[in-house]
Chain A
Amino acid sequence: MFSLPPYASSLERVWRAALVVICALILLFLIAPILVIMPLSFNSEPYFTYPMPGLSMKWYADFFQDPRWLNALKASTIIGLASTTLSMTLGTLAALGLSRANFPYRAAVMAFLISPMIVPVVITAVGMYFFFANLGLNNTYFGIILAHTALATPFVVITVTATLTGFDQSLIRAGASLGASPTTVFRKITFPLILPGMISGALFAFITSFDEVVVVLFIASPDQRTLPKQMFSGIREQISPTITAAATMLVVAAAVMLVTVELLRRRSERLRGIRS
């Protein structure tokens, strides 16, 4: 699978083969935990050992019959969708502004807007816990949605800005000079070009919220028990096979999102005329 130059020495060939083996092992390390946990979710016995005595779907049945898991799924979905919508709106507008030519202090403003991604989430969580206590926002859906929006927006800013780099501003001028109103220019030119970035950003924002547990641990009550919080307490107390079923479904969801984002990225590059 490697194309080595014809002048390669035999030592080089051996080294190249060794490298492939090493990389295969590293890939195995990356993928192994996921591969180990998925089959265990079909185990007929509540153990985490191989070989499995038999197959069953009962942990999935458990998941969909246990009101705690179902409520957690519902809470996570509500919070995820709401904070995605909010961070999409704020993040896309900001990215459009930032990618205008000669934006003042662009790097500093960008660093500021991205900072929620960098600051350790415990610090954010404790700060919000203090702040929201003053406002009566602790233990409310609204509070969690605000917090998750702050954490998720950097991802939208980054992905949409990335689709706008190399964006030919003369396209907008061309549209305007041909008589299109700014709204039409946005609808017909800008929007289709940034759409892939927006969808990628939305998916990133959604999984950021859907995956977030630290802030929820601090500012939510049991009424807003999200899926990650349910898993977290599950692992802390008694790890039940239902967790592996939930984990497997989340891995499948992640795989679907990953493929979507990858396809969108390629489409975006094609639209902008970038060839790899």
Chain B
Amino acid sequence: MSVTTYSEDRSTLKARLRRAERMQRLRALGLVLPLFLFILVVFVTPIAILLTRAVDNPEIADNLPLTTTALKDWDGKDLPGEAVYAAFAEDLKAAQKSKATGLLGKRLNYELPGTRSKMLQAGRTAEKMTAGPFKDAFLKLDPLWGKLETWQVIERASHRTTSFYLLKALDRQWSPTGGIEQVAPDQRLFVDVFVRTLGISVGVTLATLILGFPLAYVLATLPPRHSNLMMILVLLPFWTSLLVRTTAWVVVLQTEGPVNDLLLWLGVTNEPLPLIFSRFGTIVAMTHIQLPFTLLPIYSVMKTISPNYVRAARSLGAGPFSAFWQIYFPQTMPGIAAGCLLTFILCLGYYITPALVGGPTDQMISYFVALYTNRELNWGQASALGAILLAATLILYAVYNKLVGIDKMKLG
């Protein structure tokens, strides 16, 4: 056998192996592809739409096109000239025909509360205007049209994209001088809601850790014949419908419910406590729902900890508590991190439970996303709030992936 044939042989073998591996990889990709595309279309597209809605701003540009063009030449320092008012009158006439004045009024009202009816009035008046000077006509109609701020707002809102909703979601706005300032104190709302959302999530995470850790410890150290039944008791609520559990908490905590009956009977209190529609009720119900999510990762880590380490510590003279604290507890940290992080991420998005068990001041950010979508019909604001919540969730999700690894996520 000559040297050349040997190396030829080797190279063809290598090539064939590489080809076989490539085929296998393609086949694996082919198996994943259908779900990948499905998630991309059915799940990612809607979220992308939501994100664009958060900065999308078509109302003024679409319905006041002439004004938008006329305002391009305006310096923004003094009231605009006759040309802008003439364009405004022309636009309003068209808007009145296409019944868009209501939409314009609603959009202006977001930035200048109380101006909706004035826009409607301006629309009706503009219909009857035939000749100029339009500026004087509008100034006479309402002082609103003679304010510099009004035109600054209209000019800013005439761009196709806006940071208005995102700033508003943080209780901020553009100031007349072009900087970013806090909105008026009576309009501040969302920073409070974000802080509350974080606060409730931290509270629930801590509560699940305090309750979950000892339970996980006992479950992990008991012989299987005892721990199996206990595990089923832990998992049963996990498997039970979220609405069933929330209903149960509504029944248990209500004013004439069993807990209040018990407290009255024990003489702890003389009148029923407001357990439901309160922060207390919200945290209790959420802790109940999230407990298994925190407990299970801690439990799986504890299962892998060999009892020999604690035994060794004891034999070297450590007391039972210092052996636990210095030897056992640090080994459970990966489980604690995984469980608490997962619970915290899931808590941020809670909607149903606070909506049913909490009071008006216990609602979290998801509630406001729903409220602005369904009731207020201010989709820009709903989307902006959603975008911020999504960003927070995805950052934490990335941390979770880095720290814990998505493969480690277990169910039941």
Contact with A along B26-39 (1 / 0, CB 8 A): 01111110111011
B250 to chain A, nearest CB (A): 6
Within 8 A of B (CB), among A88-133: 90-91, 93-94, 96-98, 100, 102-104, 107, 109-116, 118-132
**Which A residue sits closest to B372, measured CB to CB?**
A126
What residues on B are CB-neighbors of A93 within 8 Å?
31-32, 34-35
Q: Is the interface of A mostly helix, strand, loop or mixed?
A: helix
A104 to B28, CA, bound (A): 9
- Beta-carbon contact of B218 and A23 below 8 Å: yes
A23 to chain B, nearest CB (A): 5
Q: Determine which of B28, B39, B241 lies in contact with A228 in the assembled complex, contact meaning CB atoms within 8 Å.
A: B241
Contacts A94-B32, A124-B46, A130-B379; A9 near B320 (Cβ below 8 A): yes
A84 interface contact, C-beta 8 A: no
**Which B residue sits closest to A132, measured CB to CB?**
B46
Contact with B along A1-20 (1 / 0, CB 8 A): 11101011101100100011
- Beta-carbon contact of B236 and A126 below 8 Å: no
Q: Which of A125, A200, A236, A244 has the most CB of B within 10 A?
A: A125
- Beta-carbon contact of A126 and B382 below 8 Å: yes
A214 interface contact, C-beta 8 A: yes
A65 to B314, CA, bound (A): 65
Contacts A120-B349, A123-B369, A161-B407; A1 near B32 (Cβ below 8 A): no
Contacts A23-B214, A37-B251, A149-B38; A97 near B240 (Cβ below 8 A): no
B317 to chain A, nearest CB (A): 12
Q: Determine which of A19, A94, A207, A251 lies in contact with B34 in the assembled complex, contact meaning CB atoms within 8 Å.
A: A94
A40 to chain B, nearest CB (A): 7
What residues on B are CB-neighbors of A20 within 8 Å?
218
B257 interface contact, C-beta 8 A: yes
Q: Determine which of B39, B211, B257, B352 lies in contact with A150 in the assembled complex, contact meaning CB atoms within 8 Å.
A: B39
A237 to chain B, nearest CB (A): 12
B57 interface contact, C-beta 8 A: no
Contacts A7-B314, A111-B406, A231-B247; A150 near B30 (Cβ below 8 A): no
A16 to B296, CA, bound (A): 22
Contacts A26-B215, A126-B369; A258 near B49 (Cβ below 8 A): no
A15 to B214, CA, bound (A): 12
Instruction: A9-B320, A122-B349 given; name 14 further pairs at CB < 8 Å.
Output: A1-B222, A11-B320, A31-B237, A33-B245, A36-B258, A90-B38, A96-B31, A97-B30, A109-B32, A113-B32, A123-B47, A130-B53, A211-B243, A231-B247
Q: Which residues of A contact B (CB under 8 A)?
A: 1-3, 5, 7-9, 11-12, 15, 19-20, 22-23, 26-27, 29-34, 36-37, 40, 47-50, 90-91, 93-94, 96-98, 100, 102-104, 107, 109-116, 118-132, 146-147, 149-150, 153, 155, 157-159, 161-162, 165, 200, 204, 207, 210-211, 213-214, 217-218, 228, 231-232, 235-236, 239, 243-244, 247, 250-251, 254-255, 257-259, 261-262, 265, 276
Nearest first, the 8 A-B pairs at minimum CB distance are: A120-B349, A97-B31, A127-B46, A33-B248, A100-B28, A97-B32, A131-B46, A94-B35
9 contacts between A and B (CB under 8 A): A15-B320, A33-B288, A36-B248, A122-B370, A123-B389, A127-B46, A158-B410, A211-B243, A250-B244
